[in-house]
Structure 1
Amino acid sequence: MNIAVEHIATDQPPDDAKARDLDYGWQSGNQIELLENGEAYFPKVFEAMRAAQREILLETFILFEDKVGFELKDILIEAAQRGVTVVASLDGFGCGELSVSFLRELAEAGVAVQMFDPASKTLGIRTNWFRRLHRKIVVVDAAVAFIGGINFSADHLGDFGPEAKQDYAVQIVGPAVADLHHFALAQSGRQVRTRRGWRRRPQRPAPWATSEEDGLVRLIYRDNVQHRDDIEEAYIHALSKARTRAVIANAYFFPGYRLLREIRNAARRGVHVQLIMQGQPDVLLAKLAARMLYDYLLKDGVVIHEYCQRPLHGKVALVDDDWSTVGSSNLDPLSLALNLEANVLIRDRAFNQQLYESLEALARNHCQTMPEKRKPRLWLWRLTVGFLVFHVMRHFPVLTGWLPAHKPRLKPIESPAHDV
């Protein structure tokens, strides 16, 4: 699809009225490639950027000034200097330590840098903790797209050491790229034209693709307006239809009761359900929170693995032999109730099998399996605490609305005069 782009400068939030209520349907005929860790992801995405002729759209939660960040900066500057439109939307918390010189080099080269909810430190502490731009999306020339959980930082590479993250992304070529392109433009405050005029808003799609063909992709996302529960509902719907197997690998696992119940119910009816959790977490609280839920799930036959080789940062899942999801959303209150997130749903048997083999090798070779426990009093205590903590966190959007600067906005970075 050939798309002409009209850029409109704006400082409106990504979930402003111009970008609301976008529902993307299933697109067929796509080629999907699984990219595991930075070793697979960075070469692919950098190659696509270097070959860009018209446009690069980038959203990321974290961009560090390390060997990955410096390479990205050089690629974006070179692209902008040869006339490519480059828009980089960065999160003000995750990218809050970027230096003035780093941002100035990008801006002066013509890269349109936008910072989501920038805030200076107060007494040396960042206060813009909530409602983060947590998506990781790259679209090049409206022809190839990347989406997943991998940030632009060297800690996604194995040579980073014991703290290197285990993570996943996908490269997509095909009709679904148009939806990712349209979404990225809308979320950055820009608009997209097609040859036939303004692109129509996609119709609300069926939650489950009915076609038996492979290569189906659907973009789903979470915002704080009309799509608060779309990602969570996609998990619930897929698990409710599971017949043989379900594997969820998620870095921060503390979902609500409805999703927990669907996981348990799938195991009860004979589905082989496996969860891959963090055993060596970068945030200790994540491990403690997830373990509150173990007994509830183990007693009904859910198999729980803890990945112990290095921190798990993935956000992927598969159901049966053809449904998969890859994206930025964890299954915790921050991702499910606060952050701006994006996943793709994939109906493709070959991709599903590839992801399954990768996760199965991870569980078999680098995980410890949790033994089933039957301690009613301990189980009741953990479930009660977990229930209370979750529902307190589910109200964070309201609670954080009382805090200063509680309406996140995209701020264009033109000539940075101070560190943001």
Structure 2
Amino acid sequence: MPQRKPDHRRRHHAQLSAGWSGFVTGNQLTLLQNGEEYFPALEAAFDRARYEIHLQTYLYENDATGQRVAAALQRAALRGVKVCVLIDGFGSRNLPRQMRERMRSDGVNLLIYRPKISPWTFRRKRLRRMHRKIVTVDREIAFVGGINIVGDRTANDDQAPRYDYAVAVEGPLVEAIRLAAQRLWSRLAWLSLHKEMAHRTKMPASTFTGGSMSAAFLLRDNIRHRRDIEAAYLQAIRQAQSEILLAHAYFLPGLEFRHALIGAVQRGVRVVLLLQGKVEYRLEYYAVRALYGCLLDNGIEIYEYRKSFLHAKVAVVDDHWATIGSSNIDPFSLLLSLEANLVVDNDAFGAGVARRLKETVQTDGWRIRAEGWQQQPTYIRVFSWLSYGLLRLMRGISGYERENGRARSQ
């Protein structure tokens, strides 16, 4: 295996993409796997809140988990904490009106991002969703990841829990996350004519000390930060020297991203993909598989997670650079939705994430081999390419191709 160069980490800092606020040191980061680790930590943080809570999520379900989180938010609101919950109009479209009204009557400020939805239009504005999963509590702790407010298990209780990750952040980076959540909240409060919700909460500075980890908070929006998350991925992949691990629920990279991965393999870097192995959304599932042949032929290892639904959006490069967040590697995340990722440059944290991913690949990953893939039935190949073509058509109608062209010219 190629050895990491001594200046590898310094180059990460020297070549930050435009719009990236950079790495902030002095943080303590805790990796949380699945809801069984995430929701107890979230509830405990809510019960410690004294001034303000921001919760922004794509999907909020009225299940036992959603009700448990709502109860913790209510307890905070009754103590006088300002509680701000932002949900997406499409992702949370099944949240009953009674649940929303009960939360509001309990003192929770609730806003809906783009509440008007239509399944019959591919207009760009309708496809742009709020896909972030961010929580901040005072200036003390923040959570960033891919976990929605929904139970880990589907209706089939015999199935393993949904596979996903989040990170608890303590330290100076919390303020950057809090300000990003507050800015989006204030903008939507004004636009929805609820300006009384937009006022800022006065609170003391964080009391946390003692962290040593370096991390950055990245957003994807439709104004200033359109390519920040993708640029961070590409930078890390192009600088990789030994190993790249990617775990993604939806993996439909563009040509530039695919070329970066193939270029890494040609440099002697091991590239491992852990992808969705169960059919959740049929169109996306088969569209991704249309790319398997090209990726396998170029030496990229592909494993499918079939134990339950894979929902993670995680990457580790060379056991020290890691990212966890809400952004998939597909056109809807990279160039349409509002996303948020945490990027970490720390040996201990990166190695810990890599260890968990490798354990999952080893125990629950079904390896797809090139020789076997070439023997798949013709009808599967045809359906995969039809699905891929349909998704390309959808992103063209949505304005993805035009916006992608402009982004690459800047």
- Structure 2 length as normaliser, TM-score? 0.80
Match of 1:5 in 2: none
Would the aligned equivalents of 1:231 and 1:336 in 2 still touch at CA under 8 Å? yes
Match of 2:227 in 1: 229
Matched, 1:82 2:83: no
The 1-side partners of 2:102 and 2:91 are apart by 19
Identity of aligned residues (%): 34
How far has the Cα of 1:284 moved from its partner?
2.4
Task: Please tell me the residue identity of whatever aligns with 1:318.
Answer: V
Query: Which of 27, 38, 47 is matched with 2:24 structurally?
Result: 27
Residues 276-332 of structure 1: per-residue CA shift (max 9 Å, x gap): 001113222222111111111111211110111011000000100210000000111
Shifted more, 391-400 versus 59-68: the winner is 391-400
Task: Please tell me the residue identity of whatever aligns with 1:292.
Answer: A
Matched, 1:104 2:101: yes
Match of 1:311 in 2: 309
Task: Please tell me the residue identity of whatever aligns with 1:59.
Answer: Q
Would the aligned equivalents of 1:337 and 1:397 in 2 still touch at CA under 8 Å? no
Match of 2:133 in 1: 136
Structure 1 counterpart SS, 2:50 = coil
Matched, 1:395 2:396: yes
Question: CA 1:191–1:219 in 2, change beyond 3 Å: closer, same or farther?
Answer: farther
How far has the Cα of 1:169 moved from its partner?
0.5
The 1-side partners of 2:203 and 2:78 are apart by 27
The 2-side partners of 1:191 and 1:183 are apart by 15
How far has the Cα of 1:129 moved from its partner?
5.7
Matched, 1:364 2:362: yes
Question: CA 1:128–1:195 in 2, change beyond 3 Å: closer, same or farther?
Answer: closer
Question: CA 1:395–1:222 in 2, change beyond 3 Å: closer, same or farther?
Answer: farther
Match of 1:180 in 2: 177
How far has the Cα of 1:121 moved from its partner?
7.1
Matches within 5 A, 1:3-82: 23-82=20-79
How far has the Cα of 1:147 moved from its partner?
0.7
The 2-side partners of 1:182 and 1:335 are apart by 22
The 1-side partners of 2:77 and 2:309 are apart by 35
Query: Which of 263, 281, 285 is matched with 1:265 structurally?
Result: 263
How far has the Cα of 1:164 moved from its partner?
3.4
Gaps of 5+ in 1: 1-20, 197-212, 402-420
Question: CA 1:399–1:321 in 2, change beyond 3 Å: closer, same or farther?
Answer: closer
Structure 1 counterpart SS, 2:99 = helix
The 2-side partners of 1:382 and 1:45 are apart by 42
Residues 75-126 of structure 1: per-residue CA shift (max 9 Å, x gap): 1111111100100001111111222221112112221101111127789xxx
How far has the Cα of 1:395 moved from its partner?
3.0
Structure 1 counterpart SS, 2:370 = coil
Match of 1:411 in 2: none
Would the aligned equivalents of 1:246 and 1:273 in 2 still touch at CA under 8 Å? yes
The 1-side partners of 2:271 and 2:384 are apart by 20
Shifted more, 297-306 versus 238-247: the winner is 297-306
Matched, 1:334 2:335: no
The 2-side partners of 1:230 and 1:160 are apart by 38
Residues 169-221 of structure 1: per-residue CA shift (max 9 Å, x gap): 1001011101001110011114768999xxxxxxxxxxxxxxxx961111111
The 2-side partners of 1:243 and 1:187 are apart by 38
Would the aligned equivalents of 1:333 and 1:393 in 2 still touch at CA under 8 Å? no
The 2-side partners of 1:194 and 1:331 are apart by 38
Task: Please tell me the residue identity of whatever aligns with 1:261.
Answer: H
The 2-side partners of 1:192 and 1:117 are apart by 23
Would the aligned equivalents of 1:244 and 1:320 in 2 still touch at CA under 8 Å? yes
How far has the Cα of 1:229 moved from its partner?
1.5
The 2-side partners of 1:390 and 1:146 are apart by 32
Matches within 5 A, 1:89-128: 89-119=86-116
Matched, 1:325 2:326: no
The 2-side partners of 1:333 and 1:32 are apart by 29
The 2-side partners of 1:23 and 1:240 are apart by 18
Match of 2:142 in 1: 145
Question: CA 1:244–1:120 in 2, change beyond 3 Å: closer, same or farther?
Answer: closer
The 2-side partners of 1:120 and 1:375 are apart by 41
The 2-side partners of 1:44 and 1:315 are apart by 20
Question: CA 1:302–1:31 in 2, change beyond 3 Å: closer, same or farther?
Answer: same
Match of 1:242 in 2: 240
Structure 2 counterpart SS, 1:28 = strand
How far has the Cα of 1:399 moved from its partner?
8.0
Would the aligned equivalents of 1:293 and 1:386 in 2 still touch at CA under 8 Å? no
Across the aligned residues of Structure 1 and Structure 2, the Cα RMSD in angstroms comes to: 3.2
The 2-side partners of 1:97 and 1:128 are apart by 21
Matches within 5 A, 1:208-219: 215-219=213-217
Task: Please tell me the residue identity of whatever aligns with 2:149.
Answer: F
Query: Which of 330, 350, 373 is matched with 1:352 structurally?
Result: 350
Task: Please tell me the residue identity of whatever aligns with 1:143.
Answer: E
The 1-side partners of 2:56 and 2:287 are apart by 29
Task: Please tell me the residue identity of whatever aligns with 1:395.
Answer: G
Question: CA 1:342–1:122 in 2, change beyond 3 Å: closer, same or farther?
Answer: closer
The 1-side partners of 2:42 and 2:155 are apart by 18
Task: Please tell me the residue identity of whatever aligns with 2:218.
Answer: I
Question: CA 1:318–1:386 in 2, change beyond 3 Å: closer, same or farther?
Answer: farther
Would the aligned equivalents of 1:318 and 1:352 in 2 still touch at CA under 8 Å? yes
Task: Please tell me the residue identity of whatever aligns with 1:265.
Answer: G
Question: CA 1:304–1:191 in 2, change beyond 3 Å: closer, same or farther?
Answer: farther
